[in-house]
Structure 1
Amino acid sequence: MNVTFKSGLPAEQTQGYLNYNPTLKYSKDGDTYTVTSVTAQGKKEVSFKSGVAFDETVAGVKVNTTYTVDGDTITQIQKSDDGVLTITRTFSGNEMVVTLKTNKWDGVATRYYKA
């Protein structure tokens, strides 16, 4: 079962998430991290400090986002009026494992990436 179906997203948004296959780059400058995502739709950069919440718009929805960096793991928590989404990215060598959890169901979605 996929997290986009259970979250109540419209079918076109669900398909967009399933087809999402970005090129990602993570960088650090002092205590600021930047995630650069490149897709067929364009390039997006998000800069953050570990543990510091900020507001952003994701897929047309206003969310409050907090990233926490702990060793080889980046945890992103997005809170909106519609619920809470937790995205955990764990890095090991040239691999990244991404898990998604939401308060709307008790499952976990996992995606694997390799450089």
Structure 2
Amino acid sequence: LEELAPYRDQPSTWFTARDEIKAIIAQKIATKTVEEWLAILEPADIWCAKVLTWPEMMASEGFQVLDMLQTVTREDDVSILTTRSPLRVDGARAKVERAAPRIGEHSAKIRKEFGL
């Protein structure tokens, strides 16, 4: 972008002028649709993707293949449908069944353990 020329040789301005730089880039991005930008960026081997809405993401093939949803439960029988981590350790993804503790659930035990 020609509008970014004043910043090219001044790395010290890349942080201090970031709002101005982002505004210039945003104006340029607004000139094309997501599909038009993907058609330009993907063939140029630039890592990019459409930002999906929550319903689009939930319906996407990748989300389905990753098996991203799980139900976790607390001791008080409260069940929560939530996402799970896509990360693999030693080739396996963790699947957790226990929900996070309620706020303060372990406070007394911690106070006792540390003499607080």
TM-score range, shorter chain: under 0.3
Which has more helix, going by share of residues? 2
Which has more strand, going by share of residues? 1
Q: TM-score, normalised by structure 1?
A: 0.18
Higher-Rg structure is 2
Highest RCO, 1 vs 2 (Cα 8 Å, sep ≥ 6): 1
Q: TM-score, normalised by structure 2?
A: 0.18
